[in-house]
Structure 1
Amino acid sequence: MSNPPTEFYSAERWQNWIDRLDDEEIDPEDESSARLLLNLQDDTAIAVAKIVAAYDDGELDEETTLEKLGEVREIVLSEVDIDDEETLMLVDGVQTSLVCVFYAAEEYVAGGPADDASVDEYIRAAADAEAEEELDAALGYAAQAGTLVFDDEDVDISVAEDIEYGLVTEWVNGLDSLQSAMSDPEVVEEDE
């Protein structure tokens, strides 16, 4: 058994992204700004995918895997210090998208892939739960969809077009980043 990496993501790495966003005039309509935000999200999803891959490969046990996921989650979901209100909102959107990625990873490690429905069915169930203002249930369904992404099933991003914009569409966005990370877990360069 090879030695797994001890650090999959660092507070310094996250802060570098945040500093970069803080330094630039972020305009979500601008392609390079949108790419920067997506890279921030993808970079985190890649770290999560690598932790789960190390678990799947037997390099990490369940307890260590959940610990590593918790460390990354704590870094990424902590409060961000950015002066510009709009940039702060955009980073908050990225963090919201990633909440589902973390829950899905933890659920996958603790219980394996959900097997009661398809990715689309879980996402639609999440949207229905959100419409009923049952947000915990909505996150649960979205996370179950995510466990299937870890199990190599695809998220059809067009499913988000059929549901009302809200938390579930943000979570689907996160699962889309996770799907990209699973298929191409190459590190996003911070200076692109």
Structure 2
Amino acid sequence: MSAPPGEYYTDERWQNWIERIDEEDIDPEDEDSARLLLNLQDDAAIAVAKIVTDYQDGELEEEETLEELAKVREIVLAEVEMDDEEKLMVVDGVQTSLVCVFYAAEEYVAGEVAEAPIADLIGAASDAEEGDDVDAALGYCAQAGTRIFADEEELSMDVVDDLEFGLVAEWVNGLDSLQTALSDPEVVEEDDDA
């Protein structure tokens, strides 16, 4: 059993990451900064992956699973307070990427696994975004995520490379973190000396 209910992710853990970002010089072009942001994103995705894995293993009932997901979502998607506008934008990007992970987890737990290939779903999401139908775009990305949860198919980086920068690209980025979390659910260590 990986974590007792209620302890998959804590507000304190999220705040530790936020404080690190607040204290450091963040430049998304810089490798260390990019890694810090990716670790923040992966850490939350790992919590989601563990909850769903415990559900798959029968350790959590559907209702408990949705409650645990809601707790993590509340922590991760809460408004972040920082004085630095650029850092706020960067954290907002991470939160945006994770929105899709939560929707995908909830759909999967509700028993909805898409049948269409991931590339087709991402393509449909991209088309929907171009047509300003953001809700449909998010829906298609979440469906792609259900296929990752169900271990039906892997998200290919070729799909990501073809995307224009925008919401779909950010959501697919979140799905990439989810895929990594499901294949290697090791907790991202927070550096104590940072």
TM range (shorter): over 0.9
Percent identity of equivalent pairs: 69
Q: Residue 28 of structure 1 corresponds to which residue in structure 2?
A: 28
**Counterpart of 1:9?**
9
Work out the number of aligned pairs and report it: 190
Inter-partner Cα distance in structure 2 for 1:182 and 1:49: 6
Change (3 A) 1:102 1:72: same
Give the TM-score taking structure 2 as reference length. Answer: 0.95
Q: Which residue in 1 is equivalent to 2:132?
A: 133
Secondary structure (helix, strand or coil) at the match of 2:22 reads: helix
Structure 1, unpaired ranges of 5+ = none
Give the AA of the match of 1:132: G
Which structure 1 residue ranges, 4+ long, deviate > 3 Å from structure 2?
Answer: none
Q: One-letter code of the match for 1:31?
A: E
Residue in structure 1 matched with residue 71 of structure 2 by the alignment? 71
Change (3 A) 1:56 1:88: same
Q: Normalising by the residue count of structure 1, what TM-score does the alignment of the two structures yield?
A: 0.96
1: CA distance, partners of 2:2 / 2:80: 33
Q: Return the alpha-carbon distance in structure 2 between the equivalents of residues 5 and 96 of structure 1.
A: 27
Distance 1:21 1:70 in 2: 24
Comparing 146-155 and 13-22, the one that deviates more: 146-155
Q: Give the Cα separation in 2 of the matches to 1:174 and 1:3.
A: 22
Matching residue of 1:119: 118
CA displacement, residues 12-69 of structure 1 (integer Å, 9 cap, x when unaligned): 0000000000000111111110000000000000000000000000000000100100
Which residue of the partner structure matches residue 188 of structure 1? 188
Q: Distance in 2 between matches of 1:52 and 1:43?
A: 15
SS class of match (2:190): coil
Correspondence for 1:148: 147
